[in-house]
A and B are shown apart, each in its own frame.
Chain A
Amino acid sequence: MPHPESSIERPIELLFETQTLRPDELLEAAQSLLDDLGDTPSAHGRMQCAYALRDAEGQLWVRYIISQGANQPWGIWSVDASSGTLPSLANVLPLLGWYEREIQDLYGITFTDHPEPYPLVLHEGFIPAKPPLQKGFDAKAEPIRGQAEPFAEANMVGSDIQRLPFGPIRADVVESAQFVFHYIGEGILHYHPRLFYKHRAMEARFEGVPISAACVLAERVSGVDSVAHVLAFSQAMEAALGWQAPLRAQAWRVVLAELERLYNHLQFFGHLAKTTTLKVAEAEGIWLEEQVKQINGRLTGSRFLRGMIVPGGLRRDLDATALIADLNALQPQIEDYLDTLANTRSYLDRLLTTGVLPRQVAFDQGATGPIERASDLDRDLRRDHGYALYPELQFAVPTATEGDADARARVRDQEIRQSLHLIRQALNKLEPGPICRKEQTIDPPMDGVMEGMGLGWAEAVRGGLIYAVHWNAKTERLTRVKIKEPSFSNWRVFPFTVNDSNMMDYAINEASFGLSVAGADR
């Protein structure tokens, strides 16, 4: 159901509610979150992420971002972390486990009773004496240098158990990551993805950067998610500054975001066809992806749709004429391709019942995007926390209940069709008018704890993406940017579908998740 009121008219003070909690209140608050919001009836309430930051005085805080339900303001808990120790919430809200470990690595804050208190973002052997985002760490003077050391992993002992560390450099043109399998014959006993070989300190790069350069950075966190990143960042900046992008820009933002979904999802099907050994279907999928990328190039000058979205609107106006003709030509090909795939028995045989993700695990571990929707969690930021022109448009949010690789593919199949529908609707709503407005038109939200906070989000191709920005109005520079990345969420979930599965299904299951390593590692 479309949201009745436009995001443009929604009062900005309802964007988020901040409350300060004492460390000893945290566990109770986490428990009450489950009791009060739960995953019923609307399945919209949930902890999103946690991050640390230093305020203007250098004091350490940890912030938790909570979705309080569809069209409700986001909740933010702000907790004084200057003691250097907080209770871990990972036993109550397992999806926080990785966020807490990241904070531990980068800020040196300890989380007591953490179920897996090992390094995550920084690898063993590359951990500096002083945490890199703690006050006084000078990246220029002493960048991290080290030698790989053994890491904590499952202790699997048995005469027939084999250990296979695969990567970080693997066959094919793929992103770097290491997968450690423990297996007997074909059966996988335990699977441990070792990520963060590509941790590039992207969040830290935003510190001290002005708006224009920050947009360039946001587009380079995860290249195939460039639009979603710069859109979420721009909306966060607009919230912090009280800016509102004009309607024409809001419509174009929908077009760009859906074009991004389109080429990514087509790539997804090409890759899934490859893992199920359908050579022609693989070629057709990536050929359709290429055609959308060429459309992107003709439309914006960038095959990744970069360099368009900025806080306030777009950098320049675009011409929709060729786009409509191009889409008219491509749509029947896309639909024919998807219909043919969905009727291919050998393909379905490999997907059905492969890599089942139960609904409760998806909820507890923080699955997002097509992954959670394929496991019967009906959430989509475009509908539940409407932004850009989405509240004005009609679209369905496809879901499935089975939670297997086939469900994940079917959800994306339907999303492609919805994207084409959304692009047409948004193009129909393009009225002549300004494309960018860089001025305060409404009051920025009241944080009550810290000045200059903005929150922005987008339903990226791979799920819910949130940018929390902290802005210094005097210097006109960013002081902290937190990126809640959907692949970070889904990589945490993925192993739950691999343990107790078999080697033959692994590649298909991984393809059905459609994960990005660059996004997760940041």
Chain B
Amino acid sequence: MPLWTWFGLKKGRATTGWPESAGSDGQEGVLGLPKLNADQCSEGAQGCTKCVTSCPSGAITLNVAENVTEDQEQHIDLDYARCVGCQLCTETCPSGAFSPSNDWAFAVRDRADLSRLARPATPDKKLEEKWQKSLAGFGRSLHIRHVDAGSCNGCESEISALLNPFYNLHRLGIFFTPSPRFADLLLVTGPVTEVMREPLLRTFEAMPEPRWVMALGTCATGGGTNGGGYACHQGLDGILPVDIWLPGCPPNPAAIIEALLVLLDRRPQQVHGGRHDA
């Protein structure tokens, strides 16, 4: 008859110190979303559309010269809200404008920050004030209600990983709760199937205010490859007011932790105007 307590004690500590002290984030070698070096796109002007046609989720747009205004020096854009990180663009681009990267901390508070062309010229002051006001209501702990609105189960697999001994999410004061009545944050995965739309909205309505919503994974941030069609919406846009967007297919557990801490203002946002900080 094994003594599991002894078994556990012998194993010692598995939990990483990251992100609050020294330790691995556990994502060595893990690819993030591709990096776009738009000034390296030499063929676009000559009518090359290889990246656009290779992209399975419609994340890449190529603007013809006359549509580009002065402050948008880039004629090519990658909307990370729709990017599934399949890396096809990095393989098809003849001039190396797209390259694979390990950038995965893509959590943003304003969806426009995920694209170069959609970036508003000045930061929204109202948004910032609302943010700070609601933040004050949360103190140091956060309770999450997760809702699967049609994911492939990849996101659930990574959310569940947050509870394994390596990430040990509880140490950061963040917990999952079964009841929306106790929840501060609604964590939504999937492109939102029409059948899940109402249960999702009812869960949101059952949450006390102040409350936040996170769109987790590219299906939820922009539909990805699985949005639309006869059964699905294109993610949370237009369905719920979203406070934090985290694309990735799926976002890895460290990216999810980053996003939760960006939400709580305990980590800085790393993506601005469609660019990941160097």
- Interface residues, chain A, CB within 8 Å of chain B? 123, 126, 128, 132, 137, 139-140, 143-148, 168-176, 196-202, 204-205, 209, 212-213, 216-217, 220-224, 226, 267, 270, 278-281, 283-284, 286-287, 289-290, 293-294, 297-299, 301-304, 306-307, 315, 340, 343-345, 516-519
> Would you call A200 and B193 a contact (CB within 8 A)?
yes
Q: B176 contacts which chain A residues (CB < 8 A)? A: 172-173
11 contacts between A and B (CB under 8 A): A139-B230, A169-B147, A175-B151, A176-B148, A197-B196, A200-B231, A280-B5, A286-B160, A289-B161, A343-B1, A519-B153
> What's the tally of chain B residues with a CB closer than 8 Å to chain A?
67
* Interface pick from B26-34, B65-73, B135-143, B259-267: B26-34
CA distance A309 to B240 in the complex (A): 36
Q: Given A144-B231, A173-B146, A217-B225 in contact, is the A223-B26 Cβ separation under 8 Å?
A: no
B156 contacts A174, C-beta separation under 8 Å: yes
Supplied contacts A176-B149, A213-B88, A286-B160, 16 more A-B pairs, CB within 8 Å: A145-B194, A169-B148, A172-B176, A172-B178, A197-B199, A198-B151, A200-B193, A217-B225, A224-B154, A224-B157, A280-B7, A281-B7, A283-B8, A290-B161, A301-B30, A304-B250
Complexed CA–CA distance, A213 and B11 (Å): 44
B14-34 with Cβ < 8 A to chain A:
14, 26-31
Q: How far is the CB of B221 from chain A (nearest CB, A)?
A: 15
B interface residue numbers (CB < 8 A to A): 1-2, 4-5, 7-8, 11, 14, 26-31, 54, 56-57, 84, 86-88, 91, 100, 146-161, 163-167, 176, 178, 190-191, 193-196, 198-200, 203, 224-226, 228-232, 249-250, 252
Residues of A within 8 A of B1 (CB): 343-345
- Do residues B178 and A171 form an inter-chain contact, with CB atoms below 8 A? yes
Is the beta-carbon distance between A196 and B195 smaller than 8 angstroms?
Answer: yes
**A410 shortest CB reach to chain B, Å:** 17
Docked Cα-Cα span, A278 to B5, in Å, equals: 10
Residue ID in chain B nearest A316 by CB atoms: B91
Residues of A within 8 A of B228 (CB): 139-140, 143
- Counting residue pairs across A and B whose Cβ atoms lie within 8 Å, the total is 203
User: Known contacts A173-B160, A174-B156, A201-B230; is A290 also within 8 Å of B26 by CB?
Assistant: yes
**A contact face: mostly helix, strand, loop, or mixed:** loop
Chain B residues with CB under 8 Å of A145's CB are 194
Distance between Cα atoms of A113 and B65 in the complex (Å): 62
Q: Which of A126, A286, A297, A340 contacts B164 (CB 8 A)?
A: A286
> Min CB distance, A419 to chain B, in Å?
18
A306 to chain B: which residues have CB within 8 Å? Answer: 86
- The interface residues of chain A lying within 8 Å CB-to-CB of B225 are 205, 213, 216-217, 220
Q: Is the CB of B2 within 8 A of A340?
A: yes
| Cβ A143 vs Cβ B194 within 8 A | yes
Contact B4 A344 (CB under 8 A): yes
Contact at A216–B86, with CB atoms within 8 Å? yes
The docked-state distance in angstroms from the alpha carbon of A298 to that of B252 is 13
> Given A139-B228, A198-B196, A301-B29 in contact, is the A340-B7 Cβ separation under 8 Å?
yes
Q: Which residue of chain B is the closest to A223 with respect to CB atoms?
A: B154
Contacts of B149 in A (CB 8 A): 176
Q: Which of A174, A303, A315, A345 contacts B148 (CB 8 A)?
A: A174
Rounded to whole angstroms, the CA-CA distance of A145 and B28 in the bound complex is 43
